[in-house]
Structure 1
Amino acid sequence: MSRTLAKHILSCKGNDGVVQILAIRSPAVKSRNWVVRFGVFQVDLEARELRRHGLRIKLQEKPFQVLALLLEHRGQVVTREELREKLWPADTFVDFDHSVNTAVNKLREALGDSAENPRFIETIPRRGYRFIAPVEVVEATAGLTTTAEPVPTVAGRRARIHPVWWLVPALAILVTVGYGAWHRFGPRVQPPDRVMLAVLPLENLSGDPGQEYFSDGLTEEMITQLSRLQPERLGVIARTSAMYYKGTKKRVDEIGHELGVDFVLEGSVRREAERVRISARLIRVGDQITVWTKSYEWDIQDILALQSDIASTIAREISLTLTPQVQARLARTSLVSPQAYEFYLKGRYLWNQRTPEDLRKAIAQFQQAVREDANFAPAYAGLADCYNLLSIYLVASPQEAFPRARAAALRALELDQTLASAHAALGYTRFRFDWDWEKAEEAFRRAIELEPSYATAHHWYGEYLVAMRRFKEGLAEIEIARKLDPLSLIISADAGWFHHLAGQQELAVQHLQRTIELAPDFAPAYIYLGEIYIRKGMYPEAIAACQKGIELSRGGSKPACLAYAYARAGRRTEAMKIIEELKHRAYPSPVSIAIIYAGLGENEEALAWLERAYQERNDFLVHLQSQPLFDPLRSDARFRNLVGRIGLPQ
Structure 2
Amino acid sequence: MEQAETQVAAQGWMKATLFGDFRIETPSRELVVLSNRRAALLLAVLCLEPDHSIDREALARLLWPDRFLAQAKASLRQCLLDLRRKLEDHGVDCLIVSRGEVALAPGSLACDLFELEAGLLSDDPAAAIATLLAIGNRPLVQGPPLNPEFDEWIASRRDHVDAQLRAAISAAIRNSSNATSERLLEAARARFPSYRTFNRAAHQARIAVLPFSQIDSVGGNFYLADGIVDELSTRLGGLSGIALAGRTSVAAVIDKGRTVTEIASDLGVDYVIEGEVRRDAQGIGVRMALISGQYGTEVWSDRLSGSIEDFFDGRKVIGANVIAAMCHALDLTASPAPSRKMTHDREAYALFLQARAMIQKIGVEGAFAKGIAFLEQALEIDPEFAECWTALANAHIMTAAITPSLERVAQSAEAARCAERAIALDPGQGHAFSILGIHEWTRFNPARALEMAFEAYARDPNDADVCSRLGSCLLYLGKAREALPYVEEAVDRDPVYGRNYAMLASAYLSLGEIDKALVAGQRLADLGNPSMWLALAQMAAGDHEAAVQTHFDTRFYLGTIIMRPPGMPPMDDAARDAYFGFAARGIFSGNPADRAAYCQILDGLHAAMPDPYDSSIAFPAIWMGHSDLVMKIYSECIHPANMFGLMSLWIDVDPINRTIRDPRFMDFAERIGMVEAWERFGWPDLLPADPRRP
Q: TM-score range by the shorter chain?
A: 0.5 to 0.7
**Equivalent position to 2:668, from 639, 642, 647:** 642
Partner of 1:633: 659
**Equivalent position to 2:433, from 411, 420, 423:** 423
CA contact (8 A) 1:492 1:511 kept: yes
CA contact (8 A) 2:212 2:275 kept: yes
Q: 1:303 to 1:213 in 2, by over 3 A?
A: closer
Q: Does 1:527 align with 2:553?
A: no
RMSD (Å) for aligned C-alpha atoms:
4.2
Give the structure-2-normalised TM-score: 0.56
Q: 1:436 to 1:607 in 2, by over 3 A?
A: closer
Partner of 1:401: 411
**Equivalent position to 1:196, from 178, 198, 206:** 206
Partner of 2:637: 613
Amino acid in structure 2 at the alignment position of 1:567: G
Q: Which moved more, 1:299-308 or 1:380-389?
A: 299-308
How many corresponding residue pairs? 454
Unmatched runs of 5 consecutive residues or more in structure 1? 1-185
Structure 1 residue 407: deviation in Å? 0.9
Structure 1 residue 410: deviation in Å? 0.9
Structure 1 residue 316: deviation in Å? 3.3
Query: Aligned equivalents of 2:515 and 2:614: distance in 1?
Result: 30
Q: Does 1:467 align with 2:491?
A: no
Q: Which moved more, 1:549-558 or 1:596-605?
A: 596-605
Partner of 2:554: 549
Q: 1:444 to 1:611 in 2, by over 3 A?
A: closer
CA contact (8 A) 2:535 2:548 kept: yes
Partner of 1:410: 420
Partner of 1:149: none
What does 1:352-363 align with in structure 2 at a 5 Å threshold?
A: 352-355=360-363, 357-363=366-372
Query: Aligned equivalents of 1:475 and 1:616: distance in 2?
Result: 21
**1:12-62: per-residue Cα shift (whole Å, max 9, x none)?**
xxxxxxxxxxxxxxxxxxxxxxxxxxxxxxxxxxxxxxxxxxxxxxxxxxx
Structure 1 residue 459: deviation in Å? 1.1
CA contact (8 A) 2:393 2:435 kept: yes
CA contact (8 A) 1:546 1:561 kept: yes
Structure 1 residue 641: deviation in Å? 0.9
Query: Aligned equivalents of 2:443 and 2:218: distance in 1?
Result: 44
Partner of 1:224: 234
CA contact (8 A) 1:478 1:491 kept: yes
**1:130-187: per-residue Cα shift (whole Å, max 9, x none)?**
xxxxxxxxxxxxxxxxxxxxxxxxxxxxxxxxxxxxxxxxxxxxxxxxxxxxxxxx99
What does 1:328-367 align with in structure 2 at a 5 Å threshold?
A: 329=339, 335-355=343-363, 357-367=366-376
What does 1:273-352 align with in structure 2 at a 5 Å threshold?
A: 277-284=285-292, 288-299=297-308, 302-303=311-312, 305-306=314-315, 309-310=318-319, 312-319=321-328, 320-323=332-335, 326=338, 329=339, 335-352=343-360
What does 1:90-105 align with in structure 2 at a 5 Å threshold?
A: none
Structure 1 residue 389: deviation in Å? 2.3
Query: Aligned equivalents of 1:427 and 1:616: distance in 2?
Result: 11
Q: Does 1:381 align with 2:390?
A: yes
Q: Does 1:505 align with 2:514?
A: yes
**1:376-435: per-residue Cα shift (whole Å, max 9, x none)?**
1111101111222233225244421221111111100111111232233223333x3244
Query: Aligned equivalents of 1:248 and 1:413: distance in 2?
Result: 37
Q: 1:582 to 1:392 in 2, by over 3 A?
A: farther
CA contact (8 A) 1:377 1:412 kept: yes
CA contact (8 A) 1:301 1:335 kept: no
What SS is found at the alignment partner of 1:588? coil
Q: 1:420 to 1:315 in 2, by over 3 A?
A: farther
**Equivalent position to 1:588, from 589, 612, 627:** 612
Partner of 1:44: none
Query: Aligned equivalents of 2:645 and 2:255: distance in 1?
Result: 42
What does 1:209-248 align with in structure 2 at a 5 Å threshold?
A: 215-216=225-226, 218-228=228-238, 230-231=239-240, 233-246=241-254
What SS is found at the alignment partner of 1:294? strand
Partner of 1:458: 467
Structure 1 residue 579: deviation in Å? 5.8
CA contact (8 A) 2:619 2:642 kept: no
CA contact (8 A) 2:285 2:303 kept: no
Structure 1 residue 285: deviation in Å? 5.3
Query: Aligned equivalents of 2:461 and 2:541: distance in 1?
Result: 37
Amino acid in structure 2 at the alignment position of 1:548: D
What does 1:9-48 align with in structure 2 at a 5 Å threshold?
A: none
Query: Aligned equivalents of 1:214 and 1:575: distance in 2?
Result: 54
Partner of 1:447: 456
Amino acid in structure 1 at the alignment position of 2:490: A
CA contact (8 A) 1:380 1:411 kept: yes
CA contact (8 A) 1:302 1:336 kept: no
Structure 1 residue 449: deviation in Å? 3.2
Query: Aligned equivalents of 1:391 and 1:497: distance in 2?
Result: 22
Structure 1 residue 199: deviation in Å? 1.0
Structure 1 residue 269: deviation in Å? 3.0
Structure 1 residue 315: deviation in Å? 2.5
Query: Aligned equivalents of 1:425 and 1:601: distance in 2?
Result: 29
Query: Aligned equivalents of 1:539 and 1:210: distance in 2?
Result: 58
**1:474-521: per-residue Cα shift (whole Å, max 9, x none)?**
11111111122223232234322332233322211111212333x2x3
Q: 1:611 to 1:251 in 2, by over 3 A?
A: closer
Query: Aligned equivalents of 1:203 and 1:460: distance in 2?
Result: 32
Partner of 1:159: none
What does 1:115-194 align with in structure 2 at a 5 Å threshold?
A: 193-194=203-204
What SS is found at the alignment partner of 2:496? coil
Query: Aligned equivalents of 1:632 and 1:626: distance in 2?
Result: 10
CA contact (8 A) 1:236 1:453 kept: yes
Q: 1:405 to 1:268 in 2, by over 3 A?
A: same
Q: 1:225 to 1:187 in 2, by over 3 A?
A: closer
**1:532-569: per-residue Cα shift (whole Å, max 9, x none)?**
34445544433322232232243652799976543354
Amino acid in structure 1 at the alignment position of 2:521: L
Query: Aligned equivalents of 2:610 and 2:209: distance in 1?
Result: 41
CA contact (8 A) 1:276 1:297 kept: yes
**1:306-339: per-residue Cα shift (whole Å, max 9, x none)?**
376346412333235455664xx27xx6652222
What SS is found at the alignment partner of 1:278? strand
CA contact (8 A) 1:227 1:451 kept: no
Partner of 1:103: none
Unmatched runs of 5 consecutive residues or more in structure 2? 1-176, 183-201, 566-578, 679-686, 688-694
Q: 1:274 to 1:530 in 2, by over 3 A?
A: farther
CA contact (8 A) 1:595 1:630 kept: no
Aligned identity (percent) is 21
Partner of 1:477: 486
Q: 1:630 to 1:595 in 2, by over 3 A?
A: farther
Q: Which has the higher contact order (CA 8 A, sep 6+)?
A: 2
Structure 1 residue 370: deviation in Å? 1.0
Partner of 2:586: 567
Q: 1:601 to 1:246 in 2, by over 3 A?
A: closer
Q: 1:415 to 1:608 in 2, by over 3 A?
A: closer
Give the structure-1-normalised TM-score: 0.60
CA contact (8 A) 2:206 2:242 kept: yes
Q: 1:308 to 1:401 in 2, by over 3 A?
A: farther
What SS is found at the alignment partner of 1:282? strand
CA contact (8 A) 1:421 1:447 kept: yes
CA contact (8 A) 1:397 1:587 kept: no
What SS is found at the alignment partner of 1:243? helix
CA contact (8 A) 1:433 1:617 kept: no
Q: 1:335 to 1:577 in 2, by over 3 A?
A: closer
Query: Aligned equivalents of 1:543 and 1:208: distance in 2?
Result: 58
CA contact (8 A) 2:222 2:350 kept: no
